[in-house]
Structure 1
Amino acid sequence: MTEVVETVAALRAQVNAWRAAGLKVALVPTMGALHEGHVSLMRAARQRADRCVVSIFVNPRQFAPTEDLDKYPRQLALDLDKLHRAGVHLAFTPSVDEVYPEGFATTISVGGPSAGLETDFRPAFFDGVATVVAKLFVQAAPDIAVFGEKDYQQLCVVRKLCLDLNLPVEVVGSPTIRDAEGLAMSSRNAYLSPAELEIARKLNKALRKAAAALQVGADETATMATARQEVLDAGFDGVDYVEARESLTLAPWRRGAEGRVLVAARLGKTRLIDNVEVRKT
């Protein structure tokens, strides 16, 4: 059975006991509403470490006032059952007050790979992510932390955070888990109606087509414009961005370099993100 702790003191006590026994610890940070994509991160963590910790915390500091904090799905009992089935050793389920006690006044401001893309539409998002991730790394002191590649810009930001602040955590990116038609697993997929799900499954197809075109030398500007139009023609209500970036730094993509095509698109009240690899040529 997965042990559950709600305080930093209890989390540290268990991790310290594991360390005293010479065990390697992996952390999977989540906001709950767990699906097969999250479970794949837990499998990756268990393969790389002796003990796996999963945090479940809906972080208010990465939501703008206009976003869906109150509506974000919360299903702790179901989540804990998934953790047990996945063989997770410890669940950390703190309250907001435990993470941000009264008077909390410190925020980490990030640059580099956080520039553009999500930041153009959610200006405070990555500062909120960086702050809570840094706290989790200090609280849990993991050797390894596993993040999904679906949130690719977030993965790059966390890697840069560890590099810049000399945090002794190996950040591992785990491949995106998709359904049979290519839709990336996401907690926000639960918001989609059956008709919207059919539209959402066309998002990855447009990205893959764009990535394939770039790999054979197509013009980047024209390819991104075509991809944007294909997403709209599929039935999406709007496209926040479709851009090609370099894989490690998220700097503007250079022809022939290893990269990613990243997208954020709106469908009804739901905003979906995804990305695909552009192979180095």
Structure 2
Amino acid sequence: MVIYTQKETLVQALSSTSKNDKIGFVPTMGALHQGHISLVKKALSENDLVVVSIFVNPTQFNNKADLQKYPRTPNDDISLLKNLEEEIIVYLPEVSDLYDTSVSAKKYNFGGLENEMEGKHRNGHFDGVGTIVSKLLRIVKPNTAYFGEKDFQQLQIVKKLVSIEKLPVKIVGCPILREQNGLAMSSRNKRLSAKLFEEAALIYKTLKEVREKFSSKSIAELNALVAERFLQNPHLNLEYFEIAEEKTLKTAKRKNKGSKYRAFIAAFAGEVRLIDNMPLN
């Protein structure tokens, strides 16, 4: 494993590799867990060289307190990656290495994808995501980049970004890994108490129930069912539940034949905001 903290030295190292080598890239914000490791393993299986970035991107946080509380565990992250016993390049920059003098996000038009769900509740979030992903892809110049489906809206945004900026990279979405109780693996889980960790399993249980009843109940009935499930649990606060068409992410009010739908939830367990989603048909 080689760790780079400056983009110039990373670019120099990557430029010296064989032109025939396929480069895989896994961008992360650290606090790594087995969900991240599954992305790295997939990248290792499909490429000659894998780069993992660890960077908590300030421009995608609309809440300064959330940015400050976001878990940062670089030593543990490095140890976890070393356990893979395969050669990995790690890019671990400071904010100044990626943003120079101006820590600000570029404004994007993602064709409306940015205005749904997370976009309604986290102003400017996807401008920050687009800005940092564009920077990282231009530095690493990978053949393929890997993103988890837990952030499904982000995945669709990144695919749109690559199309808009005509970047020569394939974006691969990878399945959600879950804890034993069904909770989607997330860096934010580290902030949950033992009790809230167990209570948060309601998110997965509710998504499963929606999927099981999707063919027999209307979307309005499913919306009411989810609201009731969360009202029954005093430990979780539902921010939103939406059933959306996968491609456009627009909220569905009724089911149309031939369309693929996905259910999305954002909820607070105490002060910790958690998101999850599940395909329905």
- The question of a shared fold, defined as TM-score above 0.5 by the shorter chain, is answered with yes
The one-letter code matched in structure 2 to 1:260 is R
Deviations 1:40-59 (A, max 9, x none): 01011112211110000000
- Equivalent residues in 2 for 1:57-72, closer than 5 Å: 57-72=55-70
Give 5+ residue unaligned stretches, structure 2.
none
- Equivalent residues in 2 for 1:113-262, closer than 5 Å: 113-214=113-214, 216-253=215-252, 254-256=255-257, 257-262=259-264
Q: How many residues matched?
A: 276
Offset of residue 73 of structure 1? 1.1
User: Does the Cα contact within 8 Å between 1:264 and 1:272 map onto a contact in 2?
Assistant: yes
- CA-based RMSD of the aligned residues comes to 1.5
Deviations 1:70-122 (A, max 9, x none): 12111111111111222351000010000111146661423332222111110
* SS, match of residue 133 in structure 1: helix
Offset of residue 213 of structure 1? 1.6
Pairing partner for 2:33 from 15, 32, 35: 35
Offset of residue 201 of structure 1? 1.0
User: Does the Cα contact within 8 Å between 1:42 and 1:88 map onto a contact in 2?
Assistant: no
Q: 1:50 — aligned with what? A: 48
How many angstroms apart in 2 are the aligned matches of 1:196 and 1:124?
29
How many angstroms apart in 1 are the aligned matches of 2:90 and 2:107?
25
Deviations 1:104-146 (A, max 9, x none): 6661423332222111110111110110000000010011000
* TM-score, reference length from structure 2: 0.93
Offset of residue 35 of structure 1? 0.4
Deviations 1:133-175 (A, max 9, x none): 0000001001100000001111111011111221111000000
How many angstroms apart in 2 are the aligned matches of 1:221 and 1:142?
43
Give 5+ residue unaligned stretches, structure 1.
none
Taking every aligned residue pair, what percent have the same amino acid on both sides? 36
* SS, match of residue 150 in structure 2: coil
Q: 1:274 — aligned with what? A: 276
* SS, match of residue 273 in structure 1: strand
How many angstroms apart in 2 are the aligned matches of 1:242 and 1:169?
32
The one-letter code matched in structure 1 to 2:268 is R
The one-letter code matched in structure 2 to 1:258 is K
User: Does the Cα contact within 8 Å between 2:266 and 2:274 map onto a contact in 1?
Assistant: yes
* SS, match of residue 46 in structure 1: helix
1:103–1:268: structure 2 CA closer, same or farther, 3 Å change rule?
Answer: closer
The one-letter code matched in structure 1 to 2:157 is V
The one-letter code matched in structure 1 to 2:95 is V
Offset of residue 217 of structure 1? 3.9
Moved beyond 4 Å, runs of 4+: none
User: Does the Cα contact within 8 Å between 1:54 and 1:88 map onto a contact in 2?
Assistant: no
User: Does the Cα contact within 8 Å between 2:24 and 2:51 map onto a contact in 1?
Assistant: yes
User: Does the Cα contact within 8 Å between 2:182 and 2:201 map onto a contact in 1?
Assistant: yes
* TM-score, reference length from structure 1: 0.93
Offset of residue 60 of structure 1? 0.5
How many angstroms apart in 1 are the aligned matches of 2:104 and 2:187?
29
1:191–1:34: structure 2 CA closer, same or farther, 3 Å change rule?
Answer: same
